[in-house]
Amino acid sequence: MPVLGGRAEEPVYRPVLAARRGELEALGHLDDALAPMLSPILQLSDVDRSVIDSLARLPPGLLPAVDIGALPDTMASTLARRGVPLVPVIGLTDGDRRLAALGVTAREHTQRAVVRLRLRRDRAGPDSTTTAVERIGRYARLGPEQCDLVVDCGDVCCPADVRLAEPRVRRTLDWARRHAWRSVSVVAGGMPPALSRLPIDVPVRVDRWDWLLWQRLTDLGVAFGDYGVAPAAIAAEPAGDRHLTVTYTGHGAWWIHRWSRRRGQGDQRVADLCRTLVSGPHWPTTGASFSWGDQEISRRARRGAGAGSATNWMAWSTSHHLAHVLDALAHPARSTPSR
């Protein structure tokens, strides 16, 4: 993983993903060769047996960081005791008790942690931020050299957001140089909070402003992170908006395939959506072999499987997205091949 101002021998990608069945299924089907290049942050809002089982089945080379959010302070250590390998995520505003608990988990299991600095929530000057980092060291007993710093920009959904975020990120990274972090990543979300106003039954292009922001920061040698195919701030879709949706990642844009439902025609409608996708210019020349998600989309295009569910569509979308970003980071001078 790259240190600030340095270069990584291998590209590193840090997506922030909700720990839901769709996203975890996509991670579970990640190619073993790609797993060491991925350092996801999984956001837990609830933990049940299925989530724990999915976390335990992740590829051996994948070591996720886990943000336990509003869950009890001991949840990270509970997951670790159940055989889930993880890196705890620490926030600058975490209380003293939570810092101590996360520090114990880090020292006993992975000897490392992620410090997540949220630009929109943690509004403070460099001296105050340094004080917060020193408090982490005091209660979690972890130094910067044991921590990966994640600068989280939140949603960046238009050119104005990019122009506003870039100088703030650069100032934050100037501060970060004061400390010997294990690595530094910049994370942003580019997906619109709601898709209900987009046209249906036709692919719609949506610019990836999070990717553009990171491209403007490549001179700083920081790793890339995003929120997968979801927004950073998830907004509820209007009631009754239950369209079939597959988000397909291309270079610089997503292609949103949002198809209307017709009673009793679920398999046919999903097959139509998938046939439109695989015949589009953004479908890779390697076709179904590009990722597990592409294999599943290709099967539906041939009507070789059922329609699936919203969880499946999210899993396919996320699987392709992870493979696409890793390919783009590995080959920055070329685009993903397309017909």
Q: Tell me if 217 sits within 8 A of 302, measured CB to CB.
A: no
Measured between alpha carbons, how far is 242 from 168 in angstroms, rounded to an integer?
38
Measured between alpha carbons, how far is 116 from 99 in angstroms, rounded to an integer?
13
User: Containing H/E element for 277?
Assistant: helix 266-278
Q: Tell me if 300 sits within 8 A of 274, measured CB to CB.
A: yes
Q: What is the mean pLDDT of each run of 10 residues along the chain (339 residues)?
A: 44 88 94 90 82 84 86 78 83 92 89 93 84 94 95 95 96 93 95 87 96 94 95 60 88 94 79 95 92 96 86 96 94 55
**What was the pLDDT predicted at 319?**
97
**What was the pLDDT predicted at 44?**
87
Angle at 206 between CA 200 and CA 211, to 5 degrees: 155
**What was the pLDDT predicted at 61?**
85
Q: What domains does the chain contain, in order, with CATH numbers?
A: 16-330 (3.20.20)
**What was the pLDDT predicted at 336?**
42
Determine the residue type at 148. D
Closest by alpha carbon to 237, among 186, 198, 284? 198
Angle at 23 between CA 296 and CA 56, to 5 degrees: 105
Measured between alpha carbons, how far is 297 from 313 in angstroms, rounded to an integer?
9
Sheet arrangement for strand 204-207: 204-207, 253-259, 244-250
**What was the pLDDT predicted at 293?**
97
**What was the pLDDT predicted at 263?**
66
Residues whose CB is less than 8 angstroms from the CB of residue 128 and which lie 6 or more positions away in sequence, other chains included: none
Strand 87-91 vs strand 41-43: parallel, antiparallel, or unpaired?
unpaired
Can you give the pTM of this predicted structure?
A: 0.91
**What was the pLDDT predicted at 3?**
47
**What was the pLDDT predicted at 213?**
97
**What was the pLDDT predicted at 236?**
44
